[in-house]
C-alpha cells in the first residue's frame, strides 16, 4: 500500500475510532451551517416568490387606453403578433358591456360588467379552460358569491333595451364553467366569449343578433371596429416599450410604470440584503469551522509525531488532518442539509398557512446546496492545510514524550 | 572489530529557557554493529534527547561529525541531512533501519495490535509473512492481536511496542525507558525476552534506563554520563562518552 493509501486508511480509522469526538465536530459544523441555510432558504424563498408575484401580477403589465378610439381587426392582429404583447382583446363601450345575472339559489339580480376573454388571458392563467362559445361564462369570485353559484351551475342572463319605443328584455341560459380568483379581479365581472360581448352590444344598440334569434335592425359587418382594448405586456420590462409605441401611434395610454420601477428597486434592494447576509454568514461560518479544525490538528500532534517516527514523510502527514477535515465537512454538510430540509418542510407546511401566504416561504435550489458544500470543503481544507503544515513543521520528536 | 553504526564527534543539543538552559554534549561516541548499549542516568540527564538524536527525529545544534551507517545500508551524514532539510531521506532511514520503542508504547489507539505491528512492514511494502505471528508468539502477545491497545495492560502494550519496532527487521533498535512504567518483575521478563529475540536478529540495541542494577544484569555496554552546572551556573550540562 502506498503512503497516501495508508494515510487515507489511518485517518479514517482514527476518525471512526474517535466517533464521539468526530460526531461533535460534525454536529458543531452542522449547527452553524444549518441555520445559515435556513436563513438563506427563507430569504431566497420570500424574495423570489415576492418578486415573481410582483412581476407576474398581470395588473402591473396592463396597458389601458384613455378615452375611446377606433381599433379595427387589423390593428388587433398587428398587436397580437408583437413579441412584447402577451394578450390583447377588444372591449366594447362600457355602458353596453353589462348584463343582469340571476341564479336559482339567490334572490338578488346582479348587474355585472362583461369582459371578453380568450385562451391565454393573463387574468385567468390558473383556470383550465376559457369560454368556448356564447353560452359559457366565468364569474369573478365576488359575483359568484353574491349569486351563490359554483362551477357547472346554470345561470340566467338577461339584457334590456328600449327599441322602437318599447322596452324589451331577452334571456340567455349560461353555464358557469369556472370562478376567477378574487386576487385577480375584485369587481363583479363576468368573463365571456367575444361573440357574446359583441351580441350584447348589438342588442343594446337595437341591432339584430341572428345567432341568438334576437330581432333588430340589420348589421353592417363591413367596417367593424372597437372603441377600446385590454392589453398585457409579456413582462414588466416590455411595458415601457409598448407605451411608447402606442403613444407614437396617437393612442393615449396609462400603465403602472411607477409601480413597475418600485418593483424593480425592491428586487434590487432585497438582492443586496440577501448578499450582505450571505457574506456575513459565510465569514462567521469560516471562522468557526477554521477554529475547530485548527484545534483538531493541535490535538492530533502526538499521533502525527508517531506516524513521522514510523517513517511517514512530512508532506504526507499533512494529508491526515486534511482528510479528517474533509470527512467532517462532508458529514457536517449532509447533517445540515437534513436539518434544513426538515425545517423547510415545517416552515412551508405549518408556518406559511398561518401567515396566510400561498407562496413558498422557504426553499433553495439544488445549486445552493452545492455552493454550501463547496464553501464548506474549501474552508475545511484551507484550515486543515494551515494546521497540518504547522504539524508537519514541528520537529517529529516534539509530542512524542506526552504520549 | 565490526563496522561502526553510529559515529558522533562533538555533538551538541541545547534547550534554552530564558537565560537558564540545558546542554547535551557528546564529545565522542562510536557504536558498533550488534553492540548492546545502555544510556544510564537520572531523569532529566538528556537520555531521551540523545535517543531522539539517534532516532533522527531531533536535529543537533552543532556537530563536528554525526554519521549513521546501518548494516545493509549506506552511510549518511546526519548533520548535513538536517541542515539541508532532507527530511524525506531521514524518514527513509528511519523507516528502513530503525525500530523505536517509546516509554509509553506510542501505539496508535485506533488500530488493532496486529495492524499496529503490520504498519512498519506496510510502509516498506514488505510482503506478509510469518514474522508477525512468530514475533508475537515469542513476545507472548499472540492472543491479543485483534484487540485495540486500549484494552491491554501496560506490560502487554510494551510487548506490542517491541513487536512493532522489530516487525520490519530493522538493524537498529532504540528503546527509551521501555520498562519504566512497569513493575520490576514484568520489566525483567520483558527485557529478557527482548534480549533473547535480538540475539538471533543481529541487531544493534540502544536502550535508555535509570535502573542501574537492571543494566548490569543484562550485559549491556554503558556509556559514561556525567552532569553538572557550567558557565557560572547558567547552563546545566550533561555529557555522554564512550
Residue A355 pLDDT grade (very low, low, confident, very high; cuts 50, 70, 90)? low
Q: Which residues in chain B land under pLDDT 70?
A: 1, 212-217
Backbone angles phi, psi at A253, to 5 degrees: -130, 165
Q: Confirm or reject contact between B169 and chain A (CB < 8 A).
A: no
Assign domain B35-61+83-222 to a CATH class. alpha beta
The closest CB to that of A309, out of B87, B92, B94, belongs to B94
What is the per-residue pLDDT for B115?
A: 93
Residues of A with CB under 8 A from a CB of B: 1, 3, 6, 10, 13-14, 16-18, 303, 305-315, 395-397, 400-401, 403
For the residues A162-170, what does the mean pLDDT come to?
86
* CA dihedral of A201, A205, A211, A214, whole degrees rounded to 10: 130
Which chain B residues are closer than 8 Å to A315 by Cβ?
Answer: 88
How far is B222 from B41, CA to CA, in rounded Å? 10
- pLDDT tens digits, one per residue of B94-107: 999 999 998 888 89
How far is A261 from A268, CA to CA, in rounded Å? 11
In angstroms, what separates the C-alpha of A395 from chain B's closest C-alpha?
Answer: 6
In angstroms, what separates the C-alpha of B200 from chain A's closest C-alpha?
Answer: 23
From the number of C-beta atoms within 10 Å of its C-beta (0-12, 13-18, 19+), residue A168 rates as middle
- pLDDT tens digits, one per residue of A215-224: 888 766 666 7
Q: Is residue A5 pLDDT above 80, yes or no?
A: yes
Residue of higher predicted confidence among A199 and A237: A199
Q: Is residue A403 pLDDT above 50, yes or no?
A: no
**Cα R_g (chain A), whole angstroms:** 35
Q: Is residue B160 a contact partner of residue B141, using CB atoms and an 8 Å limit?
A: yes
B128: left (phi over 0), alpha (psi -120 to 50) or beta: beta
Kindly provide the ipTM of the predicted complex, given to two decimals. 0.87
CA distances for A132 relative to A170, A194, A230, B8, B61, angstroms: 21, 10, 19, 106, 98
Q: What is the pTM of this model?
A: 0.70
Q: Is residue B110 a contact partner of residue A14, using CB atoms and an 8 Å limit?
A: yes
Amino acid at each position: 500500500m502506498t503512503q497516501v493509501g495508508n494515510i487515507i486508511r489511518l485517518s479514517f480509522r482514527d476518525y471512526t475510532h474517535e466517533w464521539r469526538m468526530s460526531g461533535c465536530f460534525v454536529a458543531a459544523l452542522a449547527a452553524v451551517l444549518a441555520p445559515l441555510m435556513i436563513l438563506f432558504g427563507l430569504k431566497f424563498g420570500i424574495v423570489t416568490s415576492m418578486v415573481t408575484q410582483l412581476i407576474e401580477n398581470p395588473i402591473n403589465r396592463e396597458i389601458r387606453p384613455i378615452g375611446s378610439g377606433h381599433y379595427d381587426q387589423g390593428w388587433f392582429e398587428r398587436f397580437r403578433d408583437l413579441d412584447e404583447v402577451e394578450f390583447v382583446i377588444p372591449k366594447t363601450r362600457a355602458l353596453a358591456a353589462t348584463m343582469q345575472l340571476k341564479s336559482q339559489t339567490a334572490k338578488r339580480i346582479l348587474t355585472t360588467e362583461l369582459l371578453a376573454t380568450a385562451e391565454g388571458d393573463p387574468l385567468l392563467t390558473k383556470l383550465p379552460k376559457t369560454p368556448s362559445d356564447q353560452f359559457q361564462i366565468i364569474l369573478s369570485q365576488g359575483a359568484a358569491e353574491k349569486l351563490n353559484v359554483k362551477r357547472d351551475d346554470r345561470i340566467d342572463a338577461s339584457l334590456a333595451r328600449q327599441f322602437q319605443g318599447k322596452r324589451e328584455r331577452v334571456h340567455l341560459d349560461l353555464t358557469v364553467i369556472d370562478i376567477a380568483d378574487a386576487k385577480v379581479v375584485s369587481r363583479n365581472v363576468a368573463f365571456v366569449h367575444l361573440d357574446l360581448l359583441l351580441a350584447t352590444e348589438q342588442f343594446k344598440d337595437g341591432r339584430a343578433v341572428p345567432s341568438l334569434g334576437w330581432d333588430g335592425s340589420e348589421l353592417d359587418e363591413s367596417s367593424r371596429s372597437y372603441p377600446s382594448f385590454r392589453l398585457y405586456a409579456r413582462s414588466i420590462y416590455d411595458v415601457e416599450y409598448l407605451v411608447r409605441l402606442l403613444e407614437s401611434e396617437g393612442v393615449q395610454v396609462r400603465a403602472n410604470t411607477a409601480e413597475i420601477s418600485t418593483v424593480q428597486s425592491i428586487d434590487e434592494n432585497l438582492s443586496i440584503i440577501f448578499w450582505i447576509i450571505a457574506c456575513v454568514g459565510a465569514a462567521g461560518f469560516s471562522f468557526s469551522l477554521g477554529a475547530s479544525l485548527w484545534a483538531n490538528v493541535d490535538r492530533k500532534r502526538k499521533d502525527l509525531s508517531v506516524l513521522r517516527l514510523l517513517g511517514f514523510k512530512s508532506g504526507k502527514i499533512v494529508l491526515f488532518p486534511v482528510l479528517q477535515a474533509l470527512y467532517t465537512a462532508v458529514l457536517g454538510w449532509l447533517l445540515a442539509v437534513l436539518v434544513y430540509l426538515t425545517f423547510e418542510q415545517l416552515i412551508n407546511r405549518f408556518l406559511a398557512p398561518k401567515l396566510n401566504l400561498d407562496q413558498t416561504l422557504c426553499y433553495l435550489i439544488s445549486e445552493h446546496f452545492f455552493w454550501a458544500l463547496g464553501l464548506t470543503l474549501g474552508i475545511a481544507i484551507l484550515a486543515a492545510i494551515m494546521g497540518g503544515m504547522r504539524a508537519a513543521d514541528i520537529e517529529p520528536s516534539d509530542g512524542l514524550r506526552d504520549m | 572489530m565490526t563496522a561502526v553504526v553510529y559515529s558522533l564527534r562533538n555533538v551538541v543539543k541545547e534547550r534554552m529557557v530564558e537565560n537558564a538552559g540545558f546542554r547535551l554534549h557528546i564529545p565522542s561516541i562510536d557504536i558498533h554493529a550488534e553492540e548492546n548499549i545502555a544510556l544510564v542516568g537520572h531523569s532529566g540527564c538528556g537520555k531521551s534527547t540523545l535517543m531522539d538524536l539517534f532516532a533522527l527525529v531531533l536535529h543537533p545544534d552543532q556537530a563536528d561529525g554525526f554519521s549513521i551507517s546501518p548494516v545493509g545500508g549506506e552511510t549518511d551524514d546526519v548533520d548535513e541531512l538536517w541542515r539541508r532539510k532532507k527530511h524525506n531521506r531521514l524518514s527513509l532511514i528511519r523507516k528502513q533501519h530503525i525500530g523505536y520503542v517509546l516509554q509509553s508504547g506510542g501505539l496508535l489507539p485506533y488500530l488493532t495490535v496486529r495492524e499496529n505491528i503490520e504498519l512498519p512492514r506496510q510502509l516498506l511494502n514488505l510482503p506478509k509473512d510469518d514474522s508477525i505471528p512468530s514475533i508475537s508468539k515469542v513476545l507472548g502477545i499472540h492472543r491479543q492481536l485483534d484487540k485495540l491497545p486500549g484494552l491491554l495492560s501496560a506490560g502487554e502494550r510494551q510487548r506490542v511496542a517491541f513487536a512493532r519496532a522489530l516487525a520490519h527487521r530493522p538493524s537498529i533498535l532504540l528503546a527509551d525507558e521501555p520498562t519504566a512504567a512497569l513493575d520490576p518483575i514484568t520489566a525483567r521478563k520483558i527485557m529478557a525476552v527482548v534480549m533473547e529475540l535480538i540475539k538471533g536478529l543481529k541487531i544493534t540495541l540502544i536502550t535508555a534506563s535509570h535502573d542501574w542494577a537492571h543494566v548490569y544484569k543484562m550485559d549491556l555496554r554503558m556509556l559514561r554520563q556525567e552532569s553538572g552546572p557550567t558557565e557560572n551556573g547558567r547552563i546545566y550540562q550533561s555529557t555522554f562518552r564512550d
